[in-house]
Amino acid sequence: MSSATRAACGLILTSLVATVTAWQGLALLDVQPQKSPVGFRVDFIYGQNSANDKFNADLSAGVGAPTTAKIKLLGGTADVTYHFKASSGGLAGYLLGGLGVYNVKLAATSGSVTADTSETKFTWNVGAGLSFAVGSAAVFFESRYVDVAKSFQAAKTSFIPITAGVRFGGK
């Protein structure tokens, strides 16, 4: 059975995390056999999130001086996708979910001193998206819930990125 292989890239516009600021970049490869709604996708992500006020306050109390933190994520996931039939106008919806591994790096700065540490953790995600065919490419918009296992003896890292991008090599 032949496959329609799609390569895509996207930029996460916002990340609904318990953070002040966040940005993340995404690159992915999507494979879907023709005439099958089920596909497979591998994506790679890099991002940085600044800690929220409560986390910074807790960290400052533990250090005994004003301290701020940033978390950097580098990882990838393998997802199963389910694509709904496209409308006559080229709009199509899809679901995705899968497992992966992220390296989580925590950097804390107090005064002019920065200390960092990192851990590699398993992750899982589920989400949904829409794509709109534009010639041989497609514009896509998606959101998903990402849950990274507990790191640094603290709460787990979970976030809901909202991603917009362009997919090339297939609609």
- Tokens read off for 103: 């390296």
70, amino acid identity = K
Burial class (CB in 10 A: 0-12, 13-18, 19+), 82: middle
Identify the helix (H) or strand (E) that includes residue 56: helix 53-63
pLDDT, tens only, 105-140 = 888 898 888 888 888 999 999 999 999 988 878 888
The answer to whether residue 153 is domain-embedded is: yes
Local confidence band at 101 (pLDDT 50, 70, 90 cut-offs): very high
E-strand ranges in the chain read 3-16, 19-33, 38-51, 67-83, 91-110, 113-134, 137-148, 157-168
Tally of CB atoms within 10 A around 59: 20
Return the pLDDT at 35. Answer: 83
Look at 108 and 16; give whichever has higher pLDDT: 108
Return the pLDDT at 94. Answer: 96
pLDDT, tens only, 24-74 = 788 888 888 878 899 999 999 888 887 778 878 888 888 888 888 888 889
The answer to whether residue 55 is domain-embedded is: no
Q: Which residues constitute the domain of residue 13?
A: 3-49+73-102+120-168
The answer to whether residue 109 is domain-embedded is: no
Burial class (CB in 10 A: 0-12, 13-18, 19+), 62: exposed
Return the pLDDT at 5. Answer: 56
> Number of structural domains, the chain?
1
- Tokens read off for 110: 């107090």
Q: Which of 56, 146, 62, 143 is nearest to 106 (CA)?
A: 56
CATH number at residue 83: 2.40.160.20
pTM of the predicted protein model? 0.79
